[in-house]
Amino acid sequence: MDIHSLETLELELAILIRRYTSVSTYKKIGNLDRSAYLLLHHLTSHGPTGVKALAEEFRLDISTVSRQTAALEQKGYVHRIPDHLDRRAYYLQITDLGTKEFYENKNARLNRIEELLKEWTEEERKVFGELLRKYNRSTN
């Protein structure tokens, strides 16, 4: 691989992450932090899920995911469903309030991205999205 390409990618990814974090922190896009948004997105897309499966999906330890989901539960965004096969285990399910909050945040994020990319062609937006997806999948 060309070292210049790698250096460009490394720097641009660092800038992307920093700027997105800055925008979402200081210009507050919605009420959900990144971890809450991703957890609610997963529950919306995949249905009730256990903490262990969430930890595996996001490559986090179970204690981190337990803490994050406890915060969501306290806010009323998720609730526990007992596992009928293993009475000690449970699944997390998104609530109506959680669904409402998730979609409000998703729409705010989409509006912000649309604003940032308004000068891009549809083809550029499509290719950028496909390349980001490919990159994210390569990190599995």
- Prediction pTM value: 0.84
Ramachandran sector of residue 28 (left: φ over 0; alpha: ψ -120 to 50; beta: rest): left
Q: Which two tokens stand for residue 54?
A: 């969430």
Domains in the chain with CATH codes? 26-106 (1.10.10.10)
| pLDDT per residue as tens digits for the range 33-69 | 889 999 999 999 999 999 999 999 999 999 999 999 9
| pLDDT per residue as tens digits for the range 63-111 | 999 999 999 999 999 999 998 888 788 999 999 999 999 999 999 888 8
